[in-house]
Chains A and B, each alone.
Chain A
């Protein structure tokens, strides 16, 4: 019974589980990934739901993926290809629009159509935000200090962080504090006057979160969504060839090339703990697999409250995890289309769809959408981050036809007086109606529709309450405190049991950083033994 099958068992084959396993296998450990579903990728999968139409069912774009992972795991060799987005297209309710592209001079004049002051302020805003991003980015690539520890090493690391912050330009530090503590609206109102600009930028402050642009907390979400890059272009996003499923397939191939064994359809029900240390896992089938190290890539609720008996854990930790906010608020509505949508003011132009389409034309529009969610109903005029991915990646749909991915907010997990099984089609109709109002004739293009509610995300991917980041991006749930004070360094109170999912630092957004940093911790601990 003491014989182990592997050195490490990774529970969950999402992108973090795969990245984590690949690093461990690269270091020479016998590593197995146990994935419940029939495909790796977790929430980053691509599915052919309608013949010839490949849907990014859940996660749909890439930006914050840590560049060192690409190199360390040789992802390009295994098929990684991120296509940068050309445009940000923001339709307006009056039929006008804002269209931003790669040329700063052209963007100036495009914004100046709405406000010349905003066109200028955009440069000030971008510059300062870039500097904040530059100051913060190193934190994405290191294991955060343990702030409740009295270990001199940890105290020194906290002090070093303090020195780093003190070394920032006062304007950079001040904006950083505002982002960490305030709302996106507070900041955007200082810079901009035009609603469409504010709506477009504020949208980055609400993605995936149960906050409105005027809520405290939207600043942090705004910061995160601007931290990404494509080849050094700050805040830039891209689509992976074949969708984000194409990405996780590449990571899966890389992991296997390093020697990782991937078992699909292997649903772990329990992490086995004996005398305070883990010895392996038990599957739904009753099968037990043994290893001295088990790493959960699932979210904190599953990691601490479902896979292990909470009685094995300190009550403080159990309480923290119980209080940890998921409250998923986002859905996906994906369409197969007969042809590209048409925006009347742009005639037959379709190149504007080679990027994000932002349905969030003003701060008020977004805040109103949020209002409804606060009281347990979904938005009647939802915020939509749409993209016609097949415009950039024609192989995702039959020629001339298109797939359109729509990320939708707000759709609270907890619905008042009803549930998502009853509301699923109503949500689809609401999103369709909103799109119809901006793209007349949209409904006639639809061949197939898939609606993915927070409940569906939870059921199919296992993300509790359907939160796409495996736990809200709220300052009290980040860095020192993700997922719980004192347990932010990927370890758990159970010896040999670790966590590497997006519920750990630095969080979701397909960064891969939790998987990578957790691997550093596991390898460091094993080397110390």
Chain B
């Protein structure tokens, strides 16, 4: 099993000794007994997550921009140098293969971080265009520094990114080493992602952790991260959707409109890109099958479901990422209910004080305030809790996108 460039530092920090395998790398689930404390660092102060196992690519050359514009669902060609964008990429049938962040650092230079390998896909798609796709996955480590005080931690480390806008990217020096830093992340909070060449990784890590001492900087594992991303309505591949690339059935594939990513393709879009024709056809023929929405369990109903069976409703630590069914009514109270959809991830939000989830529902239940009933197993028997559809993101603080200082350049 491979380890990331930060592993020598992370290993002694991991008091649980628990590691999971993420794309062939050791990755911490959590560093302390309860991921909740790590979660609160994201929302309260600053958190550090090693996201190095992502697949990283440098796409460069005179045709790089137009090439990416033909592959990606959003158009990186319209992205200004020094900025990035979150985009999906689809197959010819208009189903989402994956999503990821593309950063533009030059007229002919882009960087892509993705959950799955894409070198072969991009290299084949590039064909005879003047574009080079380099797999730089092993060349860089990436640290996600997230939370309301993340800017302060960087400032203490001598990196002033106050002028960096949301989705901005720049190069900087940290501890005398060159880094690439973007104002991006998977927490829905103020935060940054720092690309560092592997040989410099430990030095940069030490400098950030040293600067973080005064800001309650906490190393976090995948559990706290995924709690934050659920609140932020950020979809997780293999949990909230499957890649169309290796889907077996139509039920395993989803279009941008079905995933709530339809905004990536405005109706005015005339650019040819992979899947564009199919997406246009989907809209024309109205073949979209469902919507991806947020749901929030009715707090009284959730407690009641447990209380009525002599239990206390669990909150702390509730996180479920296996599919659960949604119905149109409470079967126990009212027989004859119908299956209407499913929840892909579900948790108790320690900040919102609600049980929330990401769900797939038909159109007639996709509007905010629509009622659905989530099936849970309570005391070994199914129980149905009333939930309401809510807009995503469920947590969206202004600081995430706020301009922190006037741009100086």
Q: Interface on A for B, CB 8 Å cutoff?
A: 103, 105-109, 116-121, 123-124, 127, 131
B1 within 8 A of partner (CB): yes
Q: Which residues of B contact A105 (CB under 8 A)?
A: 1, 21-25
Q: List 19 A-B contacts (CB under 8 A).
A: A103-B1, A103-B21, A105-B1, A105-B23, A105-B24, A106-B1, A106-B21, A108-B24, A116-B135, A117-B123, A118-B120, A120-B118, A120-B119, A120-B120, A121-B120, A124-B120, A124-B245, A124-B246, A131-B248
Let me know if B21 and A127 touch, CB within 8 A: no
**A interface, over-half SS:** helix
* Mask of B134-174 contacts with A, CB within 8 angstroms, 1/0: 01010000000000000000000000000000000000000
Q: With both chains docked as a complex, state the minimum distance between the C-beta of A190 and any C-beta of chain B, in angstroms.
A: 10
Q: Which residue of A lies closest to B248 (CB)?
A: A131
Q: A103-B1, A120-B118 are in contact. List 8 more A-B contacts (CB 8 A).
A: A103-B24, A107-B24, A108-B24, A109-B2, A116-B135, A116-B137, A118-B120, A127-B245
Please, how many angstroms separate the alpha-carbon atoms of A94 and B119 in the complex? 26
Q: With both chains docked as a complex, state the minimum distance between the C-beta of B122 and any C-beta of chain A, in angstroms.
A: 10
Q: Which residues of A contact B120 (CB under 8 A)?
A: 116-118, 120-121, 124
Q: Which residue of B lies closest to A103 (CB)?
A: B21
Q: Which residues of A contact B135 (CB under 8 A)?
A: 116
Please, how many angstroms separate the alpha-carbon atoms of A121 and B117 in the complex? 9
Let me know if A119 and B117 touch, CB within 8 A: yes
Q: With both chains docked as a complex, state the minimum distance between the C-beta of A280 and any C-beta of chain B, in angstroms.
A: 51
Q: Which residues of B contact A108 (CB under 8 A)?
A: 23-24, 117
Q: Which residues of A contact B121 (CB under 8 A)?
A: 120
Q: Which of A116, A123, A124 has the most CB of B within 10 A?
A: A116
Please, how many angstroms separate the alpha-carbon atoms of A410 and B377 in the complex? 59
Please, how many angstroms separate the alpha-carbon atoms of A109 and B22 in the complex? 12
Q: Which residue of B lies closest to A123 (CB)?
A: B246
With A105-B24, A106-B24, A109-B24 as contacts: A116 and B119 at CB distance below 8 Å:
yes
Q: With both chains docked as a complex, state the minimum distance between the C-beta of B61 and any C-beta of chain A, in angstroms.
A: 18
Please, how many angstroms separate the alpha-carbon atoms of A109 and B1 in the complex? 9
Q: Which residue of B lies closest to A128 (CB)?
A: B246
Please, how many angstroms separate the alpha-carbon atoms of A105 and B23 in the complex? 4
Closest CB pairs A-B (n = 5):
A105-B24, A120-B117, A120-B120, A117-B120, A127-B246
Q: Which of B1, B117, B137, B248 contacts A123 (CB 8 A)?
A: B117
Please, how many angstroms separate the alpha-carbon atoms of A151 and B355 in the complex? 63
Q: Which residues of A contact B25 (CB under 8 A)?
A: 105
Please, how many angstroms separate the alpha-carbon atoms of A22 and B121 in the complex? 51
Q: Which residues of B contact A109 (CB under 8 A)?
A: 2, 24
Please, how many angstroms separate the alpha-carbon atoms of A127 and B1 in the complex? 23
Q: Which residue of B lies closest to A118 (CB)?
A: B120
Q: Which residue of A lies closest to B133 (CB)?
A: A117
Please, how many angstroms separate the alpha-carbon atoms of A25 and B223 in the complex? 57
* Mask of B44-63 contacts with A, CB within 8 angstroms, 1/0: 00000000000000000000
Q: Which residue of A lies closest to B247 (CB)?
A: A127
Q: Which of A109, A119, A120, A121 has the most CB of B within 10 A?
A: A120
Q: Which residue of B lies closest to A105 (CB)?
A: B24
Q: With both chains docked as a complex, state the minimum distance between the C-beta of B7 and any C-beta of chain A, in angstroms.
A: 14
Please, how many angstroms separate the alpha-carbon atoms of A123 and B98 in the complex? 15
Q: Which residues of B contact A117 (CB under 8 A)?
A: 119-120, 123
Chain B positions 1-23 with a Cβ under 8 Å from a chain A Cβ: 1-2, 21-23
Q: Which residue of B lies closest to A127 (CB)?
A: B246
Q: Which residues of A contact B23 (CB under 8 A)?
A: 105, 108
Q: Which residues of B contact A116 (CB under 8 A)?
A: 117, 119-120, 135, 137
Q: Which of B1, B23, B117 has the most CB of A within 10 A?
A: B117
Q: With both chains docked as a complex, state the minimum distance between the C-beta of B116 and any C-beta of chain A, in angstroms.
A: 8
Q: Which residues of B contact A124 (CB under 8 A)?
A: 120, 245-246
Q: Which residues of A contact B117 (CB under 8 A)?
A: 108, 116, 119-120, 123
Q: With both chains docked as a complex, state the minimum distance between the C-beta of A11 and any C-beta of chain B, in angstroms.
A: 43
Q: With both chains docked as a complex, state the minimum distance between the C-beta of A168 and any C-beta of chain B, in angstroms.
A: 12
Q: Which residues of B contact A123 (CB under 8 A)?
A: 117, 245-246
Please, how many angstroms separate the alpha-carbon atoms of A502 and B22 in the complex? 44
Q: Which residues of A contact B2 (CB under 8 A)?
A: 106, 109
Please, how many angstroms separate the alpha-carbon atoms of A406 and B25 in the complex? 35
Q: Which residues of B contact A118 (CB under 8 A)?
A: 120
Q: With both chains docked as a complex, state the minimum distance between the C-beta of A478 and any C-beta of chain B, in angstroms.
A: 26
Please, how many angstroms separate the alpha-carbon atoms of A118 and B22 in the complex? 19
Q: With both chains docked as a complex, state the minimum distance between the C-beta of A457 and any C-beta of chain B, in angstroms.
A: 40
Q: Which residue of A lies closest to B1 (CB)?
A: A106
Q: Which residues of B contact A121 (CB under 8 A)?
A: 120
* Mask of B114-133 contacts with A, CB within 8 angstroms, 1/0: 00011111010000000000
Please, how many angstroms separate the alpha-carbon atoms of A304 and B118 in the complex? 55
Please, how many angstroms separate the alpha-carbon atoms of A107 and B2 in the complex? 11
Please, how many angstroms separate the alpha-carbon atoms of A244 and B119 in the complex? 42
Q: Which residues of B contact A120 (CB under 8 A)?
A: 117-121
Q: Which residues of B contact A127 (CB under 8 A)?
A: 245-246
Q: With both chains docked as a complex, state the minimum distance between the C-beta of B274 and any C-beta of chain A, in angstroms.
A: 16
Please, how many angstroms separate the alpha-carbon atoms of A109 and B137 in the complex? 11
Q: Which residues of A contact B246 (CB under 8 A)?
A: 123-124, 127
Please, how many angstroms separate the alpha-carbon atoms of A124 and B243 in the complex? 12
* Mask of B242-253 contacts with A, CB within 8 angstroms, 1/0: 000110100000
Please, how many angstroms separate the alpha-carbon atoms of A106 and B22 in the complex? 10
Q: With both chains docked as a complex, state the minimum distance between the C-beta of A272 and any C-beta of chain B, in angstroms.
A: 53
Please, how many angstroms separate the alpha-carbon atoms of A482 and B118 in the complex? 43
Q: With both chains docked as a complex, state the minimum distance between the C-beta of B153 and any C-beta of chain A, in angstroms.
A: 31
Please, how many angstroms separate the alpha-carbon atoms of A120 and B123 in the complex? 11
Please, how many angstroms separate the alpha-carbon atoms of A106 and B248 in the complex? 23
Please, how many angstroms separate the alpha-carbon atoms of A277 and B1 in the complex? 65
Q: Which residue of B lies closest to A116 (CB)?
A: B135
Please, how many angstroms separate the alpha-carbon atoms of A124 and B119 in the complex? 12
Q: Which residues of A contact B245 (CB under 8 A)?
A: 123-124, 127
Please, how many angstroms separate the alpha-carbon atoms of A88 and B246 in the complex? 23
Please, how many angstroms separate the alpha-carbon atoms of A297 and B231 in the complex? 65
Chain B positions 237-289 with a Cβ under 8 Å from a chain A Cβ: 245-246, 248
Q: Which residue of B lies closest to A134 (CB)?
A: B248
Please, how many angstroms separate the alpha-carbon atoms of A406 and B187 in the complex? 54
Please, how many angstroms separate the alpha-carbon atoms of A118 and B123 in the complex? 12
Please, how many angstroms separate the alpha-carbon atoms of A384 and B236 in the complex? 44
Please, how many angstroms separate the alpha-carbon atoms of A116 and B117 in the complex? 9
Q: Which residues of A contact B1 (CB under 8 A)?
A: 103, 105-106
Q: With both chains docked as a complex, state the minimum distance between the C-beta of B161 and any C-beta of chain A, in angstroms.
A: 32
Q: With both chains docked as a complex, state the minimum distance between the C-beta of A364 and any C-beta of chain B, in angstroms.
A: 23
Q: Which residues of A contact B118 (CB under 8 A)?
A: 120
